[in-house]
Amino acid sequence: MPGYCDHVGHEQLSAAIGQEDPADKQGAQLLDGLNERQIKAVTAEAGRTVVLAGAGSGKTRVLTRRVAWRIAAGQTDPARVLVLTFTRKAASELRQRQVRLGLRDAVPAGTFHSFALTQLRERWAERRTVPPAILDGKIRLLAQIGARKADTDLLDVAGELEWARARLIEPDGYDSAAKAASRASVGEPGFIAEVMTKYQQEKRRKRVVDFDDLLYLAIRDLQADPDYAEAIRWRHRHFYVDEFQDVNPLQHKLLELWLGDRRDLFVVGDPRQAIYGWNGSDPALLDRAAASAETVINLDTNYRSTEGILAASAAALGPDVAPLVAYRGQGPDPSVTSHESDTHEARAIAATLKQDKGMGRSWSDMAVLVRTNAQLAVIERELSTAGVPSRLRSGPGPLGSPEAKAKLKELSRPGIDLRNQLEQLDVYLEENTVPGRTAPGATTERINNLAALSRLVHDYLSVELNPTGAGLAAWIQTLHAGDVDAEDSAVDLVTFHGSKGLEWPIVHVAGVEVGFVPIAYARTETQLSEERRLLYVAMTRAADELHMHWSRSRTFGTKVVDRQPAPWLNGMEFGSDAVKSRRPQEATWRRHVEKSRRHLDEPPTGGRSTTDSSSPEEDLYVRLRAWRDTKARASGVPGRVILDDATLRTLARARPTSTAQLAAVADLRPTKLARLAPELLEQLGATGEQSQQ
């Protein structure tokens, strides 16, 4: 396959890349299981290095092994390393991986904000300055300075202040910058600039700082005192940045000040997954970093998804975008399904989820992804009705949003005229759910959250003869009675943004229609390009199966709105067809037979499986899985990268006794077959003589 980089051991590649083991055995272990480009990234000479890592290409493995490799080689002091991420969770994962790689000394890993705060605290202590209090949010202070007006919403105002600070925009430059970026209008011209000035003055008066001030103040201290800046640079000498496509100008300025004139910077990013421009990030910074780097390495082999999924997701970005190379090869074609309404869509998804569960999948193997939080209410309701356990992975869901909670509290008051209150809410929604337009100062998401609540209240009134506010609250609570704990098996319900960094074997993408994909307020080329990338992120979360859905009508409150499929769906279907045309029919037939067999192996209702835990076939399958999982943990990769469950079941059923039989039974590439055959045949019980056949 063109562009394919097979997994290789260090001994086979060390001569080719001109590297020696930094610590013999440890060095070989750090390179074990990596492909050629990954090894080049891990072992590159010190200097500005940019790794353009496609979805599922092993970027975290490369970053963590790069850190460990240079420490093992004696090229870096662990105490002088700084690994920068964007979330505490990502930082925690990086630290855990370093421990698994055998690093005894702790390698500092954290967010830009956490390191900036550490720097500031030390500076304050050094100067014996009483630290300012840190605000946990902007809303209360904005309300105190009069930022709440009839035609504005404080959350919108706070969002604009955060965007301006991330982009290094001062009050006198806000209006022109917002206009250039096609930012939605919040208040009259000059309003946000005025609020920015008052907000900064009030913070100084009260001696408080907000989250974004941490970066700004860290920058100020470094610029004001060159000797202090050099001391900081002496301490932090080796920089690693994950998800560099999400860096904003404020963070980038701090990074450059930390670096000074040194070149020891290793960044990993994917321009195809740049989805936070609305929040101030600048994907062009990754392009600039690559243009000025000594080394640029492109990781284009995807170890997560099948070929069809990668072809369809690349087509979502545009007709000229080449898909990533699929390490796993063929798989089921992605599907696109239209539905009569959003309710029919949710019910169809629930039915498919139950069907896949009946064919041996776990609930936690599956996810439903949506563009907006408000879409989850109908899906969550229909899954609950169908007996499908689910959990929200993107925050509290539409009913947990501040506006919906406040409205529900209002509707639940004793003695409330529920129908009258609902009518007032519907009038408000009727005026503000025109496709492509929102109420002044209110975001589309908040309008849709209230519309989701309105719809549930209408459902309640249709089944309750004597509706009350208390009855409504109790009825809605029952809808969430099936919520599960994080450790229980359940279908994940996630927004596109919330899905980044996650993956599932089976993914349903719901609401792939104009208004959501792209979102209604995306009009400029920059905004539409980001919407394409956001859809790409959602699609590439799928490992084995990808199912796209759209509805011909959707209900917002009491309004039923006709919908159209997303304009990029035709391109996705073309991408899938292109893959299909290259596939041998025998492989497709083999997958069909295998899926049918798994279905037949499942017990009927109330019955017992024909391959229960006492059967030799099931025992062998369990043994193969244990071997596979142990090998995967040792290599630091998901189990399916070694062999997926379907292949293991096929092997347990066929019991091949030679390499030739292995090749006939399992659809493996020659290099992978050669690497795995000896251990597989041992697990399958073949003799040494048979193994040589």
User: What are 248-300's pLDDT values in tens digits?
Assistant: 999 999 999 999 998 899 999 999 999 999 889 999 999 999 999 999 999 99
Element (H, E) at 296: strand 295-299
Q: Which of 68-82, 168-182, 365-379 has the least mean pLDDT?
A: 68-82
User: What are 14-73's pLDDT values in tens digits?
Assistant: 444 444 444 456 667 788 889 999 999 999 998 999 999 999 999 988 998 899 888 888
The mean pLDDT value of the chain amounts to 81
Q: Which residue has the higher pLDDT, 688 or 58?
A: 58
Choose among 46, 487, 541, 533: nearest CA to 262: 46
User: What are 499-552's pLDDT values in tens digits?
Assistant: 998 999 999 999 999 999 999 888 899 999 999 999 999 999 999 999 999 999
Instruction: Answer whether 63's CB lies under 8 Å from 101's CB.
Output: no
Name all domains of the chain by residue range, CATH numbers in brackets.
10-117+216-302 (3.40.50.300), 136-206 (1.10.10), 331-570 (3.40.50.300), 613-691 (1.10.150.80)
Q: What pLDDT, on a 0 to 100 scale, did the predictor assign at position 478?
A: 58
Among left, alpha and beta (phi > 0; psi -120 to 50; other), residue 172 is alpha
pLDDT greater than 70 at residue 469 = yes
User: What are 611-644's pLDDT values in tens digits?
Assistant: 333 477 878 888 888 888 777 666 555 666 678 7
Choose among 184, 544, 187, 488: nearest CA to 364: 488
Q: What pLDDT, on a 0 to 100 scale, did the predictor assign at position 692?
A: 40
User: What are 122-139's pLDDT values in tens digits?
Assistant: 999 999 989 899 888 888
Burial class (CB in 10 A: 0-12, 13-18, 19+), 231: exposed
Choose among 437, 396, 410: nearest CA to 519: 437
- CA 105/CA 116 separation, integer angstroms: 22
Q: Which whole number is the average pLDDT over 413-422?
A: 81
Q: Which residue has the higher pLDDT, 351 or 693?
A: 351
Element (H, E) at 556: strand 553-556
Q: What pLDDT, on a 0 to 100 scale, did the predictor assign at position 148?
A: 77
User: What are 386-402's pLDDT values in tens digits?
Assistant: 999 998 876 666 677 77
Q: What pLDDT, on a 0 to 100 scale, did the predictor assign at position 87?
A: 73
pTM for this entry: 0.73
